[in-house]
Structure formats: structure tokens, C-alpha cells
Amino acid sequence: MRLVGLTGGIASGKSTVSNLFKANNIPVVDADLVARDVLKKGTGGWKKVVASFGEEILLANGEVDRPKLGQIVFSDPGKRQLLNRILAPYISSGIFFEILKLWIKGFKVIVLDIPLLFEAKMDKWTKPIIVVWVDPETQLRRLVGRDGTSEEDARNRINAQMPLDIKRSKADIVIDNSGSLDDLSEQFRKVLFQVTRPLTWTEFWLSRQGAFSALASVIVGVLICRKTFSNL
């Protein structure tokens, strides 16, 4: 099984690349969707977040007001770190179970779409690591245009994340999304070829097919041993 790490920065186009993988029948585990699930009303994550940030972050229906919580943590590094510490165990567990479900279905290549791949130290479990990079000016312009936010607020949100240049230095594959959608699609075709190349032996033994092969080998070995001993 090959776990491909996909990360980037806010408004870098990571979600577009993630959707391209899905369109090519490559399953994607989306950490943002997992995070939404662990913050649903009544969950363990929800209870701890409400206890730490107060009921003023809740909507009338009791669900977390995610934009309001986002404003709080993006403007305060200490509170952002607190939120990450609270949710990290729940998100990691959720990602693991999503991977397990896909492993059981027999998928050999799985993309992990994780914005905080490096910050959460999850990069050590993925190979290759793909970083969707964009130049700072384009990133700021796209974020302001996408969310209709002020330039100051957009800068705060960008600065709250690990700089894209640092992420790029840690990547195995870099997708430069500073250009057009056609440019991105052309780069993606090359990346898709790399990601779907034949599995290494190590990756094969980690796949469901590899596990079944190993199990079959063990069963055959046991049967041969039993037959040998019965003839003594």
C-alpha cells in the first residue's frame, strides 16, 4: 500500500489537486472532513473544545461556529496550538480508520490530504510527499478573492501556517500552481504517473493483497510442516 502525502497552504490549490486525484479514481482521505466529524455536537472533540473556548463559539443549534472559532485561533498562536493539541488525537484516529476502510477494500494507492502534514509529524508515514506551492502574491490575491476577506485578515491566516517555501523544501514532488488551470492539469498528469507506478515490494506487503499472500504462505508452510511431521 502506498500512502501519498498531499499538503500545501491556504488558497494554494491543494483541494483542486485532491479533486483531480478523485476524478482519476484515486481515493483521498481528507483531514478537513475528518476534523469536521470530530467537532460535531456531542463528540469527545466537541466537548473538549467547548470546555476550552467557551459556549460563545457555538451556534444556536449547538454546533461549533467554525468561522468564529477560526477567527479566534488565527489571531492567537497560543489558542491555535491549544486547538491543535485538543483535536490532533481525534483527527489522527479518524484518518487511521479511513485508511483502514480503504485498505480492506483493496486500494493500493491512497492519498492523504492533510494541511498540517508536517506540523502534525504525519509526513513520516507518507511517501511520496506532494506539496502544492504558489507564490505569496498569488496566494494572497486568491484568498482575498475567494473568501471576500480583508487583506489583513488574509495575511494573518497565511502567516498562521508553515511557510510554503519551507514545505516545498520538504517535498518529494512540488506542483507549482501559480499559473493557469491548464498548467496545473499538465503537471498533475505527470504526478499521477509517478504516484501510480508499480508498488515496491515493501509497499506490496503492506497492501491487502500482500497481507493475503503472506497469510497464504504461512498456511502453506504450516500444512507442509504438518505433512512432513506426520511422515516421520
Instruction: Write out the chain's pLDDT in tens, 232 residues.
Output: 899 999 999 999 999 999 999 999 999 999 999 999 999 999 999 999 999 999 999 999 999 999 999 889 988 989 999 999 999 999 999 999 999 999 999 999 999 999 999 988 999 999 999 999 999 999 999 999 999 989 998 998 999 899 999 999 999 999 999 999 999 999 999 999 999 999 888 887 777 776 655 445 445 544 455 444 445 5
Q: Which three cell numbers stand for residue 214?
A: 503472506
Q: What are the start-end ranges of the E strands in the chain?
A: 2-8, 28-30, 109-113, 129-133, 173-176
Q: Using CA atoms, how far apart are residues 50 and 134, in angstroms rounded to an integer?
A: 35
| Backbone φ, ψ for residue 199 (5° rounding) | -65, 150
DSSP character at residue 64 = B
Q: Using CA atoms, how far apart are residues 193 and 169, in angstroms rounded to an integer?
A: 22
